[in-house]
Amino acid sequence: MKIRIFNILMLALLVSSLSSCEGFLDVEPSNSGDSETSVLTPADAEVMINGLMSKMTDFDYYGRNFIMYGDAKGGDLTIYSAGRGLDGLYTFNHSASSGSYSGFWIQMYHCILQANSLLASIESLEAEGTEYDFSDYKGQALTARALMYFDLVRLYGKAYSDDKSAYGVPNVTEPLDASAQPLRASVEENYTQIISDLKAAEPLLSTSKSNGYLNYYANLALQARVYLYMEDYTAALSAAQTVINEGPYELYENGEWVASWTEQFGSESIFELAMYPSEGDLGTASLSFYLRRKGHGSSSAMGWFMASDYFLDRLGADMDDVRWGVMSYDESGEDRLGACYKYSGSVNLDGDGKATATAVNIKVIRLSEIYLIAAEAAFHTNKSLAAEYLNEIRKRSPNLAPATAGSITIDMILEERSKELFAEGHRFFDMIRLDKSITFNDDFQGVPVAHREKTIDRSFFKTILPIADSEIKANPGLKSQQNSGY
């Protein structure tokens, strides 16, 4: 196990701080009391990085809710019945006082505070002339912080291509005094900080495959993703091509793709968060349970979410598409393959080699996404090259005609992203950044939805989360910066 006893104790302190109803800016980081002495050697820094990676698997972040957010709101998922859990994401039932999903804000800022404390400790040691090389740990902390700010600004700020001058989130880049109350930066300022962190981290990181950690290629993969959102297609393509051409990763063959979900740290995995049965297995609260068929393997599996008709029609354009292999029938009937088993390892609940089928690693960045980023970025300057990259993923549907320079479209790339990255938290953000309308499969079971229309676009104010009342009470300056409509 990579989590050590000291780290477990440190995490216990962090968890206890999260149980408070105070806002994140009202809570000191658990390690702030000894921030100058908690890290003395690379082994200490490793403990801090382990703790950070573990915290990112919390149910309020990559462990469940952040991924569910990206698909439940994007039209690729639907619900069979209201009231089972998290259906507020699908129905957009959000307000500042209830349904704010403030856990995103709290959890990510606690992770940022931990990264900031590690960076401050390293910088202090470097200023004193330490004998140790902390480069890789510094690079990981900076890259992780960039990822967390990228995720935060997508939740709370408008798309960069929509209004980059709009409010984003507070840029906090150093350990704060408990009384500090920073205000929101702009979306553009957030992205500037994200790119700054990624660029500063890039030369510090290892180029070796680093299971469970962030390396040089994970940094470049994240750069490609961020630049794509910024519509800097030249930079996005350059970063993606470096990962594709130089990284130690390979795309799965069609015969390998389904089984890859039963494996940890496979050949496509660029950044994968480890989940352990004794250290973060969310069990009945896991992604495995939220996406599998109701009652499968446990009466506690409630069949929370299933694929929408729209997604199934898209995937069904080729019934030999290998990606059907992680789908199984849902509670509506054995002829509807709407239950997703990526986070159960397989449709037989095989898991990924651990004692439970719910402690399945979270694949945050996969090589297939980088090919799709390259395709979209190249589309704007070289459609022939874009088709080449797209076809490397499109071939998972063996009966579909390959894309060509004459036939490729942005919608074709977007469709492939939907099929390949289903239930990995991308669809909603893709639709918003590309200013596409999202239509929901509300008529699947006729579940009433009172908080949004059947079809929305990014002009709908609830496509951005509110700042929770609890955060505004902790930091009154945020009141005048509340997102419009709330």
Q: What is the CA radius of gyration of the chain?
A: 22
Burial (CB < 10 A; 0-12, 13-18, 19+), residue 381, is: exposed
According to DSSP, residue 372 is labeled H
Q: Whose CA is closest to 365, among 421, 411, 448, 415?
A: 421
106 is written with which tokens? 């709290």
For residue 167, what are the β-bridge partners?
186
Per DSSP, the three-state class of 284 is helix
CA dihedral 22, 26, 30, 33 (to 10 degrees): -150
Give the long-range contacts of residues 126-135, CB within 8 A, separation 24 or more.
Answer: 132/41, 132/42, 133/42, 134/42, 134/45, 135/204, 135/205
Cα–chain center distance at 418: 15
H-assigned helices in 157-285: 160-163, 187-201, 216-229, 233-246, 254-257
Burial (CB < 10 A; 0-12, 13-18, 19+), residue 320, is: exposed
Q: Whose CA is closest to 428, among 437, 420, 83, 419?
A: 437
Quote the pLDDT of residue 26. Answer: 39
- The C-alpha atoms of residue 396 and residue 323 are separated, in whole angstroms, by 7
CA dihedral 267, 270, 275, 276 (to 10 degrees): 50
- The C-alpha atoms of residue 419 and residue 320 are separated, in whole angstroms, by 13
415 is written with which tokens? 């469709």
- The C-alpha atoms of residue 249 and residue 265 are separated, in whole angstroms, by 10
Quote the pLDDT of residue 2. Answer: 36
Query: Going by C-beta distance under 8 Å and a sequence separation of 6 or more, which residues neighbour residue 411?
Result: none
User: What pTM was computed for the model?
Assistant: 0.93
39 is written with which tokens? 């890290």
User: C-alpha angle 300/306/310, rounded to 5°?
Assistant: 175
Query: Going by C-beta distance under 8 Å and a sequence separation of 6 or more, which residues neighbour residue 304?
Result: 79, 84, 85, 86, 87, 289, 290, 291
For β-strands 339-340 and 327-328, DSSP reports them as antiparallel
User: C-alpha angle 70/414/372, rounded to 5°?
Assistant: 95
Q: Whose CA is closest to 175, among 55, 34, 10, 12?
A: 34
How many other CB atoms sit within 10 Å of the CB of residue 382?
A: 13
**Number of H-type helices and E-type strands within the chain:** 18, 8
Quote the pLDDT of residue 37. Answer: 52
| H-helix or E-strand spanning residue 6 | helix 5-18
Angle between helices 367-379 and 216-229 (to 10 degrees): 40
Quote the pLDDT of residue 178. Answer: 78
How many other CB atoms sit within 10 Å of the CB of residue 365?
A: 22
Residue 252 in contact with residue 325, Cβ under 8 Å? Answer: no
| Digitized pLDDT (tens) for each residue of the chain, 486 residues in all | 333 323 333 333 333 333 333 444 433 333 333 444 579 999 999 999 999 999 999 999 999 999 999 999 999 999 999 889 999 999 999 999 999 999 999 999 999 999 999 999 999 999 999 999 999 999 999 999 999 999 999 999 999 999 999 999 999 999 988 788 999 999 999 999 999 999 999 999 999 999 999 999 999 999 999 999 999 999 999 999 999 999 999 999 999 999 999 999 999 999 999 999 988 899 999 999 999 999 999 999 999 999 999 999 999 999 999 999 999 999 999 999 999 999 999 999 999 999 999 999 999 999 999 999 999 999 999 999 999 999 999 999 999 999 999 999 999 999 999 999 999 999 999 999 999 999 999 999 889 999 999 999 999 999 999 999 999 999 999 999 999 999
